[in-house]
Chains A and B, each alone.
Chain A
Amino acid sequence: MNKRWILTIAAAAALLTPAAFAPAQPLGSAAPSAAPAASAAPPPSEEGKSLDADPPGVEISKAPKIDEWKSAPRVKLARGVPACNAYRVREWLKIHCSGFPGAGVSLLAGSQEGVLVWVDPSGGEGSEAMTKPRDAEIVLPLRRGDGRLFQIAQFGEGYDGPIGWNNAYSVSEYWVDGEPAPIVTIR
């Protein structure tokens, strides 16, 4: 174990004490996070149509309200993972991932217009904080010419050591102008 890890673990241990958690604490400070797009994860449903089979139109609409997401049908993505479901309202897509120790969501490249990201801000006690299952969510518009990449992070072993984070899921979305449908993948 190298020196950097020892320092990281020691300092992280202090941050993992119960007093360090405040569930009501505001979300990330580097960029304002959005509130969850839906107040609760939608009920599980059958995997829906693919974006190829029912591509969004050319019209540009406002982001759906919470109630609209509650009844949104599921969408089958070009590649998916069991932990994440995708839902669609008009040209808007929501990706909801659950059952993993969510740490954060970031847009690594592409336009942030209309993009909302959210991760469960709840904490935990001691080392539980690192393993507590949390949800994370991305809402984005699917529009021609877009090209975006998101990172959904989870707590756990990673480059920084055993108390760190790693890339749980990588979400890619792009729509080449002139092609019939966007391609969205989660890995």
Chain B
Amino acid sequence: MKKLRPLALLVAPLALAAFAGCTEKAPSGGADAAPPSSASPVTAASAVVPKVKAKPPVREGGALVRAAGEAALWIADEDHRVLRKIPLPVPADAAQLPPPYALPGAPAQVLALADRVLVTIRSVPDDATAPGSFPRPAGLLLILKPDAEKGLVEAARVELPADAWGIAITPDESTALVSSAWTHKVSAVDLATAKVRWSIDVAREPRAIVVRPDGASAYVTHLVGAAVTRLDDLAGTPKIHAIELPPAPARAPSSKTLDASLAYSAVLNEDGSRLFVARHALGALGQGSWFGAMTLDVLSTRGDTPVLSKRIPGLTMARNPLLTKLSDAGLVTTLDIAAGELTPVTQPRASAYRKSARTVVVIGEGDDRLAELDALSAAPAIKPVAIYKVGSKYDPHLQIAAVCGAPAGLALSEDDRFAYVFCRSTYDVATVKLSDPESPPPPPHVQPGQDRSRESPTEVTALHLADDPLEKEAMLGRRLFHNATDAITSGGIGCAGCHPEGRDDGHVWHEANVMSINDSERVIFIGEPELAPNEKGGKIGYARQTPMLAGRIGSDGPYGWHAQNKDLVARLKEGFGLHRWSSVYRKGEGEQLARIQYIRAFVRGVGLVNPPKEKRELSDAEKRGQAIFVSEGARCAKCHVPESDYTDRMAYPFSPKVAPLAGFEDDPKAEFKTPSLRFVGGTAPYFHDGRFSTLEALIDQNNDRMGLTNSLTKDDRAALVAFLRTL
């Protein structure tokens, strides 16, 4: 087995900047050019105002958007740190494309207006030396202007909280709203002055932003959690409201609200009366479900109420006697479970509203599919209108697409007949012909024995834009990390489904002993107890919170909550078995190991990007917290050793023991491995079972289980928390 050489690890980052030898021309413009500082903004006087200003096709950014007023697409290519302009129709040859525009950091979203192109930059590396660069990781909003000679020129750059991600503009195009994912902020930027008007704290991992047509309010989705944030009074002092939007109510156990994750995108319908949030409903009920299902949740913006009510116990049902017999004999699924496509796409990544068909188009990073869902339904994902396969040329061994893998960006053509898709793991742009709204295709039908539908017939063409900047093993690892269809790696969801961008979904899984047809007993993860066939009085499995990976898997080992896996290879091997119902993964030790080596090369190399971290002097309170952390009195550093990523990687029993949370069994293994505290400020909830929603609650209720914190004063605890947030 080939291993990634140390030299290759050094070379790979350099390749990000160079990426020569592929299909591209050298990038032009921005990264190395001296950018105008934020002191030289685009003023109202200097802004180019066309006589007839074209409206942007959408007011929300994306990894791919259609340009305003011209036949072109813009792609924010995060891994190559460039902005790409693709003329429409998409040319057959990449040589016909203009050179990409180099950016000062990794972009997340682009939004094209008639006279400006806005781009969010997740963070500017702290070793940047270009004039105007920032001495610490910061997010940026770049304001670019079309230029006849250079294509684009930078008009202004606006410093924002790090990990700037989503963009949306107000209907009057005066204000851009930007989410900063890791630093959980939303900021408003006055586009006339290029100044930040406000920046506010919101719930964890804000991503998509959608502004209502009246311009007064906006909705923000979160990668973690079921609620959506509404911001009011955008023009003044914004007010924050958490809006409950239960994910997949028709697939939730009766009277329960599920967790949600992966809400990378949201769209409004044509009059703004409905908000559609594409995401993953963790633990949703369905045929073959252990992890949950993709859902498109619908919120009425009139009163901010979900359009579908919860499931209630004792649902009304009528069955033909034959179905009763088959069901009672355990031969078929019971009728209270929604049948059919469990997850029209896996790991939803972007969405678009198709006005002509009144559908929402969603792309799935995990299965390289595009689903068209009925925007008039209260549960659009239950019965898709159409499903299109965009990935192709699948590796016969690894089952990963060589063309259009891991779709991440989506836009519709002006006439609504085509979808354009940017595929993140293969760096292609695909053109997908959508169905005729007047004669939609036959409904997708689930293939026997699977939870996957046959796709609708369609025409897809793809143009390769660039090669992966990573070495080959890590490149394959990237594709496997995002892929949900390789039966050896997982049973229906990719690594990125629970570890989006190497982070975590905030969910606590049930590691449960379950019976399966092929095995007398198996241990797997399930999202909710109701998914298990042998639920024991509502309690099943041991609590296992999804851990964050980025920045935490550099060590040789051990891994696992009980430190039961000696190294990352052993952990991945156990993980392959935990993330599925069937035992297909057992076929072929070599097939498993090959995949493990590729994934390891990706997650250990430069594939997973660490969250941004400020390098700065600690404040007085943080210094005090640090002193407490390393003190003999508190003894935090005894196990959370600062020199080794704040862990000693040993497992210790809790004393006093903690009783399991409702729905979970008591874990007979009392010892839990000391987790790394790197980036701990951004990984709520806390404890192996997620019982503490904040670091404050963790410290307050620690009861001397981890270190000695009972004797700390209120101020000491606050200082300790302040220090933990800096790690």
Contacts and interface: CB of A to CB of B under 8 A. Distances in A.
A185 B378 CA distance: 9
A97 to B, nearest CB: 12
Interface string B363-392: 000000000001011110011010000000
B451 A31 contact: no
B317 A5 contact: no
B317 A33 contact: yes
B336 A106 contact: yes
B316 A106 contact: yes
Contacts of A8: 331-332
Interface stretch (B440-448, B668-676, B680-688): B440-448
Contact of B318 (A27, A110, A129, A163): A27
Nearest to B311: A109
Interface string A164-177: 11110010111011
Nearest to B285: A108
Contact of B321 (A25, A146, A157, A163): A25
B325 A20 contact: yes
Contact of B314 (A31, A116, A166, A185): A31
B323 A148 contact: no
A164 B318 contact: no
Interface string A106-118: 1111111001111
Interface stretch (A54-62, A63-71, A86-94, A119-127): A119-127
Contacts of A161: 448-449
A118 to B, nearest CB: 5
A134 B323 CA distance: 13
Nearest to B298: A174
Contacts of B300: 176, 179
A142 interface: no
A66 B705 CA distance: 68
A104 interface: yes
Interface stretch (B124-132, B302-310, B506-514, B562-570): B302-310
B310 A109 contact: yes
Contacts of B306: 147
B448 A109 contact: no
A83 interface: no
Which among B311, B312, B449 has the greatest number of chain A C-beta atoms within 10 A? B449
Given A11-B329, A79-B374, A187-B443, A111 B309 contact: yes
Interface residues of B, number: 59
Given A8-B331, A187-B374, A108 B319 contact: no
Interface in B309-357: 309-312, 314-326, 328-329, 331-336, 338-340
A153 B340 CA distance: 10
A31 B316 contact: yes
B378 A149 contact: yes
Contacts of A155: 320, 322-323
Given A3-B517, A108-B338, A160-B331, A178 B316 contact: no
Nearest to A146: B309
Contacts of B383: 167, 170, 187
B247 to A, nearest CB: 12
A102 interface: yes
Contacts of A29: 324, 328
Contacts of B379: 108-109, 149, 170, 172
A2 interface: yes
Given A8-B331, A104-B320, A159 B339 contact: yes
Nearest to A173: B378
Interface in B29-79: none
Contact of A104 (B302, B311, B335, B340): B335
Interface string A5-40: 101100110011000111001011111011000000
B321 A112 contact: no
Contacts, number: 237
B396 to A, nearest CB: 21
A115 B316 contact: yes
A105 interface: yes
A6 B328 CA distance: 18
Given A3-B517, A15-B326, A21-B322, A172 B376 contact: yes
B333 A159 contact: yes
B318 A159 contact: no
A99 B318 CA distance: 18
Contact of B339 (A78, A167, A174): A167
Contacts of A136: 318
A162 interface: yes
Given A22-B321, A106-B317, A148-B309, A176 B302 contact: yes
Contact of A178 (B287, B302, B334, B339): B302
B448 A162 contact: yes
Contacts of A162: 448
B450 interface: yes
A151 interface: yes
B288 interface: yes
Nearest to A134: B320
A110 B450 CA distance: 28
B316 A147 contact: no
A164 B331 CA distance: 8
A52 B237 CA distance: 39
B517 A117 contact: no
Contacts of A41: none
Contacts of B309: 109-111, 146-148
Nearest to A112: B316
Given A11-B329, A33-B317, A179-B302, A170 B322 contact: no
A112 B307 contact: no
Contacts of B451: 159
Given A104-B335, A187-B443, A149 B382 contact: yes
A104 B323 contact: yes
Given A112-B316, A153-B323, A167-B338, A176 B307 contact: yes
A103 interface: yes
Contacts of B326: 12, 15, 163-165
A155 B327 CA distance: 12
Contacts of B385: 187
A107 B316 contact: yes
A158 B311 contact: no
A144 to B, nearest CB: 11
B440 to A, nearest CB: 9
A9 B449 CA distance: 12
A31 B317 contact: yes
Contact of A109 (B250, B322, B328, B374): B250
B377 A170 contact: yes
A84 interface: no
A162 B331 CA distance: 11
B665 to A, nearest CB: 27
Given A15-B325, A110-B309, A164-B331, 15 more contacts: A4-B517, A33-B317, A108-B251, A108-B379, A109-B311, A116-B316, A118-B318, A155-B322, A158-B332, A159-B333, A160-B331, A160-B332, A166-B339, A176-B305, A176-B307
Interface of B: 249-252, 273, 287-288, 300, 302-303, 305-312, 314-326, 328-329, 331-336, 338-340, 374, 376-379, 382-383, 385, 443, 445-446, 448-451, 517-518
25 contacts: A2-B449, A29-B328, A79-B377, A110-B309, A112-B316, A115-B316, A119-B320, A120-B320, A134-B320, A149-B250, A155-B322, A158-B448, A159-B449, A159-B450, A161-B448, A164-B331, A165-B335, A166-B446, A167-B383, A172-B377, A174-B308, A176-B305, A177-B303, A183-B376, A185-B377
Interface of A: 1-5, 7-8, 11-12, 15-16, 20-22, 25, 27-31, 33-34, 78-79, 102-112, 115-123, 129-130, 134, 136, 146-149, 151, 153, 155, 157-167, 170, 172-174, 176-179, 183, 185, 187
Q: Which 3 residue pairs spanning A and B have beta carbons closest together? A: A33-B318, A28-B319, A159-B287
